[in-house]
Amino acid sequence: MRITGGSARGRLLKTLPGLAVRPVTDKVREAVFSMLQSMLSGWDRGLDLFAGSGALGIEALSRDMEQMDFVDQNGQCCSIIKENLKKTGFFERAHIYCCPVQRALGFLEGYYDVIFMDPPYADTSLGMLLGELSTSRLVADETVILASHASRSPLEKQYNNLSLIKEKRYGDTCISIYHKEVAS
C-alpha cells in the first residue's frame, strides 16, 4: 500500500499481515481525498478512528493536515501506525491512542475538521457511533465525517444533526460522507 498524494506520495506503508485489517485501497483513498479537498476549507486537525495501518490519517498528513489523532484498540496496529508515521516523517504531528474507539470518544478534546471511520466490516457499531458523534464536542459546524463500510450494510441518511451529503460505492466498499446541519 502506498501514499497516493502529497509530500509522502509513493511511500510504502506497512500493514498488518493477514485478513485482520482491511485497509482502504489506494484507488479508494485517492478518490476520497479528491472529494474531501473540494469540501474542506481547512485541514488543521483530523481523527482516524479504527485506524488500522493509519493509511487514511497518514494520507491526510501527506496532503498538509496539520495534526492527526489515530485510535485503534489493536496493539499491533498501534505499533504499525507508529512505524508508518516515523517512516513518512509525520510522527511529530500525530498522537496514537491504543484503546477502543468508544473510550477515546470520551476523553478526546476539541473539535476535528475531518473524522475518518473505517471499522472492520463485521463491526456493527458504526451507526451508533455516528449517532454519538452527532452530539459530540468533537464535531463542529464545519466537520466532515467520512465512514467506510460494506456496501451491503448501508447507513442511514441522517443521524440526529448529521446528514449524508455524499455516498460513493467502490466494489464492496461504500464511502459515506456526513456533515453537521447548522440551524439557521
3-state SS class at 176: strand
Q: Write down the pLDDT at residue 56.
A: 93
Q: Write down the pLDDT at residue 79.
A: 97
Going by the DSSP 8-state scheme, the letter that residue 12 receives in this structure is B
Q: Which residues pair with 95 in a beta bridge?
A: 69
DSSP element (H, E) containing 94: strand 94-97
Residue 64, class by beta-carbon neighbours within 10 Å (0-12 exposed, 13-18 middle, 19+ buried)?
exposed
The grid coordinates of residue 88 equal 513518512
Q: Write down the pLDDT at residue 132.
A: 94
The region that residue 18 occupies, defined by phi over 0 for left and psi between -120 and 50 for alpha, beta otherwise, is left
* Displacement of CA 126 from its chain's centroid (Å): 12
**C-alpha to C-alpha distance for 4 and 170, rounded to whole angstroms:** 17
Q: Which residue has the cell 506497512?
A: 14
**C-alpha to C-alpha distance for 95 and 114, rounded to whole angstroms:** 15
Which residue ranges of the chain lie beneath pLDDT 70? 18-23, 41, 183-184
pLDDT tens digits for range 40-66 = 767 799 999 999 999 999 999 999 999
Name the architecture of domain 26-180. 3-Layer(aba) Sandwich (3.40)
pTM of the model: 0.92
